[in-house]
Amino acid sequence: MPNPSLLILPGDGIGPEVMAEVRKIIDWFGANRGLKFDVSEDLVGGAAYDVHGVPLADETMAKAQEVDAVLLGAVGGPKYDDLDFSLKPERGLLRLRKEMDLFSNLRPAQCFDALADFSSLKKDVVAGLDIMIVRELTSGVYFGEPRGIFEEGNERVGINTQRYTESEIERAARSAFELAMRRNKKLCSMEKANVMESGVLWREVVTRVGKDYPEVELSHMYADNGAMQLVRAPKQFDVIVTDNLFGDILSDCAAMLTGSLGMLPSASLGAPMANGRPKALYEPVHGSAPDIAGQGKANPIACILSFAMALRYSFDQGAEADRLEAAVEKVLADGVRTADLLGEEGVTPVSTTQMGDAVVAALDASL
């Protein structure tokens, strides 16, 4: 059997910095757990634009379609702000999601005990929190037509279109119900059926799919109320399913429940490949963080935990994923903190590299 293949796309800003720490973790599993990967690396985002003049080269896209899993750092940065829309770094990531048909984006938000004091919310609101947001990722207003900036009379009009087919809603909903079945069997669907027809259809289809999962307690919420409830009493949720744009916003919101955006991993999953595993891309929820890029300050945990999700969802290595997550938890319990997690008096932050080394040391201690 050949080793499973991993395509690493570090991207821009802090992307390469956090990915360097993930490389240490991958090497650790190869050396200590017999888990060897065929790793290749390529360019995405601004880094690809600088070399190829496009944010994702066709050859890179083809490679992404062939590998067992893609691991991505982050894309974007002020240097590319004035580029034509079609050439922006973010388009590289959106092309990967669309062409790999990664319709189900899993964004867990878990509050580690050691970080319960770091959330901007009160400790008892977030302590023990463990929720999963399932964000539809290949449709909705991100991709709907018509779109663009058009002349209309003597002014311009900017247009994006929220569009969902029943089958798009159904497959996202089904993946959320499946997850809920493996968790606490509670699913809350969020849309704005009060003002959007796509929301009416969303609610109807989710309800219909729910008939196949009678054990799952299904509820519906308008997404604006959902945002408020996430901050008011986040532990009322188990799994949340929502569309592409609401999911983007609600998951950043959920990030602050865990203490920092630098903590949140994600898995973007598609249909099963010939080997039975889903097409998959793993990436932190955060972006390229231009404000701290190049300073060794970035928290690599979101990217490290994204690799843990790859172990679990792409490589059937649930026990090793648990091991890696426990190592992260131990490091945090030991008081190791990157600058984004500071709050306690007298604690000196560690660098990105030191955080990666601390996780490796905790993995060593787990043997």
- Residues annotated as binding site for Mg(2+)? 224, 248, 252
d(CA 238, CA 100): 27
Residue 144 contact partner, candidates ligand NAD, Mn ion, ligand IPM, none, CB within 5 to 8 A by sort of partner: none
Instruction: Please confirm, yes or no, whether 192 is among the known catalytic residues.
Output: yes
Please return the burial class of 87, using the count of CB atoms within 10 Å of its CB with bins 0-12, 13-18 and 19+: middle
Q: Which two tokens stand for residue 83?
A: 């580029």
Peptide bond into 349 cis (omega under 30): no
Residue 94 binds which entry of ligand NAD, Mn ion, ligand IPM, none, with Cβ cut-offs from 5 to 8 Å by kind? ligand IPM
Dihedral sign for Cα 291, 76, 69, 175, please. Answer: positive
Measured CA to CA in angstroms, residue 303 lies from 58, 111, 232, 289, 354 at distances of 25, 16, 28, 13, 15
CB of 67 or CB of 285, closer to ligand IPM: 285
Instruction: Restricting to residues 298-317, name those near ligand NAD by CB under 6 A.
Output: 298-299, 302
Q: Please give the Cα distance from 325 to 359 (Å, whole number).
A: 9
Candidate ranges 56-64, 65-73, 88-96, 165-173; the one touching ligand IPM (CB under 6 A): 88-96
Q: Which of 49, 142, 213, 282 is catalytic?
A: 142
Choose between 244 and 317: whose C-beta lies nearer to ligand NAD. Answer: 244
Instruction: For residue 251, state whether it binds ligand NAD (rule: CB under 6 A).
Output: no
CB of 337 to Mn ion, least distance (A): 24
357 catalytic per annotation: no
Binding ligand IPM by CB under 6 A: which of 285, 302, 309, 355? 285
Q: Binding-site residues for substrate, please? A: 97, 107, 135, 224
Rounded to an integer, what distance in angstroms lies between the CA atom of residue 346 and that of residue 248? 35
Nearest distance from C-beta of residue 302 to ligand NAD, angstroms: 6
Block residue for tokens 């002014």: 155
**Those residues with Cβ within 8 angstroms of residue 171's Cβ, 6 or more apart along the chain or in another chain:** 103, 104
User: Smallest distance, Å, CB 186 to ligand IPM?
Assistant: 24
Report the distance separating Cα 12 and Cα 48, nearest Å: 9
Contact mark string toward ligand NAD, 32..61, x via CB under 6 A = ------------------------------
Which pairs count as long-range contacts for 252-256, CB under 8 Å and 24+ apart, including other chains?
252/285, 253/227, 254/107, 254/109, 254/131, 254/133, 254/230, 255/109, 255/285, 255/286, 256/119, 256/120, 256/121
The binder of 129, among Mn ion, ligand NAD, ligand IPM, none, by C-beta within 5 to 8 A per type, is: none
Q: Which residues bind ligand NAD (CB under 6 A)?
A: 14, 18, 74-77, 90, 93, 261-262, 283, 286-292, 298-299, 302, 340
Q: Which residues bind ligand IPM (CB under 6 A)?
A: 76, 90, 93-94, 248, 285, 287
